[in-house]
Amino acid sequence: MNKEEFLSEQHSSPAPASFSAAAITSAFSLIHLFIMYGETATLLNAGRLPASTYANSTMYTTLSPCDMCTGAILLYKIRRVVIGENSTFKAAGEDYLRQRGVEVVVMDDQECRTLMERFVRESPGVWWEDIGVVGEEKREEGR
């Protein structure tokens, strides 16, 4: 699938970037849920739907889904995942989703890559936190 095909597909708005934290307004305060990534926020925003709706859905994500989001995709039996780019972050979830019968489409979109490279450059602490890498791991991997 190329970018034009992706953009011309009829679908609801794409999921927010997988690194984003969702914010929920309560009666008393704004609560940030830092384990709420784009994929899980999309499921939450969709609300309770029949299982068949999820099974006939496509999940759109900026990056390769993390382990947590991969689990959510499998739990809801989503049949197809479209990834904007996976050069910035490629999780083991891509292969696992394929092994479990999920169609995984990587767009390899330059605009996504540019957006993510800028985010990593401008917010490295948030980036490492979001992908679950701690200080020692970064040093060991030469990051």
Active-site positions read 39
Backbone dihedral region for residue 81 (phi beyond 0: left; psi -120 to 50: alpha; all else: beta): beta
The half-sphere exposure of 45 on its side-chain side, counting CA atoms within 13 A, is 16
Asked if residues 116 and 63 have their Cβ atoms less than 8 Å apart, the reply is yes
Cα–Cα distances (Å) from 125 to 2, 44, 82, 119, in that order, read 32, 26, 27, 10
Asked if residues 73 and 65 have their Cβ atoms less than 8 Å apart, the reply is yes
Asked if residues 1 and 58 have their Cβ atoms less than 8 Å apart, the reply is no
